[in-house]
């Protein structure tokens, strides 16, 4: 039997093109907006779906030195390609994984008194770097204010802990004028004063344009780096990811003919329907599809928008190519599902979700191409 080619060389139903130059440009834009604060990079969720290692290498080469991941395994992957970076684990310290944190020089973001105690027990109070997360109103992770006061007042504990960062997380900064944002800013300023000399971090992407009282010493942009919208009143930066699907068949269907499962969509005129080899198994959400009751998301071919036709199925979706140039509508061609012509947030909106979910849900069946950087 002949030797089979590697899986990466086999045909794919879709391809993801990642513009690393756009990623770096977005980081530099953010850095220019935050004054003297350091601009870190949040690369959790496989760098929001675009690939942790290539994204981190490009950002590090541009000057980014501090990174945030969600889990220890992300930190270990990151350490393998960035031996000198500062790496924080946002989901904190996982019991039993102490040797991993030590060997990979990962800094847990400690979000409860129990977690602080577990970290000190693991490290023997040797002062291994860690962050303290204080809840300022999100009620997700973080020490309460009273717990933070107790930690700050315990000189012996602080001497063993020696926090490298005190941080919190904005819950509603993407909604202009939300009253909780001002309250969180006030609470964090008070809490940070309990830890003199320790750098502070409050700003996620949504806080970048809110000024120095949010920036503190370090900002933690995530979704803004990847070119999706991070706040209702601010336009996204440069798109980084372009998702395309391969045309595997083009059908001429008569007026009134049903397309896809459930006969939920019927052609209103004689139509050219393209079948694209991408579906919800690839992370393209089913709710983005179209029906007679209302339009779904758009796609694009040759820079021209075309509507989806019918439901998204597991491995395929259909697009209406009737108005597109016939020479583009051929088997083997490519259809943009989101990218520069069709913004990821627009597709996400049709699916009833946000750009974060669409990006991080990108599956592993795509051919991946990296350009720029």
Query: Are 41 and 7 spatial neighbours (Cβ–Cβ below 8 Å)?
Result: no
284 counts as catalytic: no
CA atoms within 13 A on the CB side of 115: 24
CA-nearest of 260, 282, 286, 291 to 353 is 286
Joined together, the tokens standing for residue 350 give 């049709």
Please identify which of the residues 226, 261, 280, 370 carries the catalytic annotation. Answer: 261
CA atoms within 13 A on the CB side of 341: 16
Describe the crossing of helices 52-62 and 20-33 by its angle, rounded to 10 degrees.
50
**Under the phi-then-psi rule, with left for phi > 0, alpha for psi from -120 to 50, and beta for the rest, what region is 49?**
left
Contacts of 135 (CB under 8 A, 6+ apart): 111, 141, 142, 143, 144, 145, 168
Name the DSSP letter for residue 328. G
Distance CA 155, CA 170 (A): 29
88 counts as catalytic: no
CA-nearest of 101, 110, 100, 89 to 157 is 110
Distance CA 292, CA 264 (A): 6
Please identify which of the residues 44, 101, 226, 280 carries the catalytic annotation. Answer: 44
Phi then psi for residue 263, to 5 deg, are 50, 40
Burial class (CB in 10 A: 0-12, 13-18, 19+), 107: buried
The distance of Cα 92 from the centroid of its chain, to the nearest Å, equals 19
Torsion over CA of 311, 312, 315 and 316, rounded to 10 degrees?
70
**Residues paired with 246 in a beta bridge:** 334
Distance CA 245, CA 230 (A): 26
Query: Are 355 and 345 spatial neighbours (Cβ–Cβ below 8 Å)?
Result: yes
Query: Are 326 and 343 spatial neighbours (Cβ–Cβ below 8 Å)?
Result: no
Query: Are 167 and 133 spatial neighbours (Cβ–Cβ below 8 Å)?
Result: yes
Active site members: 44, 261
């Amino acid at each position: 039997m002949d030797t089979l080619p590697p899986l990466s060389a086999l045909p794919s139903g879709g391809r993801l093109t990642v513009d690393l130059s756009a990623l770096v440009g977005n980081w530099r834009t953010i850095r220019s907006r935050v004054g003297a604060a350091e601009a870190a990079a949040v690369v959790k969720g496989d760098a929001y779906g675009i690939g942790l290692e290539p994204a981190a290498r490009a950002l590090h080469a541009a000057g980014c030195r501090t990174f945030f991941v969600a889990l220890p395994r992300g930190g270990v992957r990151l350490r393998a390609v960035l031996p000198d970076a500062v790496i924080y684990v946002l989901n904190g310290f996982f019991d039993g994984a102490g040797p991993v944190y030590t060997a990979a020089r990962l800094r847990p973001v400690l979000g409860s008194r129990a977690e602080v105690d577990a970290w000190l027990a693991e490290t023997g109070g040797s002062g291994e770097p860690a962050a303290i997360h204080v809840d300022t109103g999100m009620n997700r992770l973080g020490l309460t204010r009273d717990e933070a006061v107790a930690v700050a007042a315990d000189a012996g504990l602080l001497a063993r802990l020696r926090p490298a960062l005190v941080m919190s997380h904005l819950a509603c900064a993407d909604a202009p004028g939300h009253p909780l944002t001002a309250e969180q800013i006030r609470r964090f300023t008070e809490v940070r004063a309990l830890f003199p000399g320790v750098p502070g971090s409050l700003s996620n992407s949504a806080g970048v344009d809110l000024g120095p009282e949010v920036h503190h010493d370090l900002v933690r942009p995530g979704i803004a780096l990847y070119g999706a919208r991070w706040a209702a009143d601010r336009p996204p930066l440069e798109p980084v990811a372009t998702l395309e699907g391969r045309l595997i068949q083009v059908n001429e269907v008569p007026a009134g003919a049903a397309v896809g499962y459930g006969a939920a969509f019927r052609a209103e005129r004689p139509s050219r329907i393209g079948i694209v080899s991408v579906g919800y198994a690839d992370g393209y959400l089913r709710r983005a599809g179209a029906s007679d009751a209302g339009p779904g998301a758009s796609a694009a071919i040759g820079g021209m928008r075309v509507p989806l036709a019918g439901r998204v199925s597991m491995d395929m979706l259909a697009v209406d190519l009737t108005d597109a140039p016939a020479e583009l509508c051929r088997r083997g061609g490519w259809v943009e599902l989101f990218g520069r012509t069709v913004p990821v947030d627009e597709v996400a909106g049709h699916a009833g979700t946000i750009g974060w979910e669409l990006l991080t849900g990108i599956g592993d069946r795509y051919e991946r191409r990296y350009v720029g950087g």
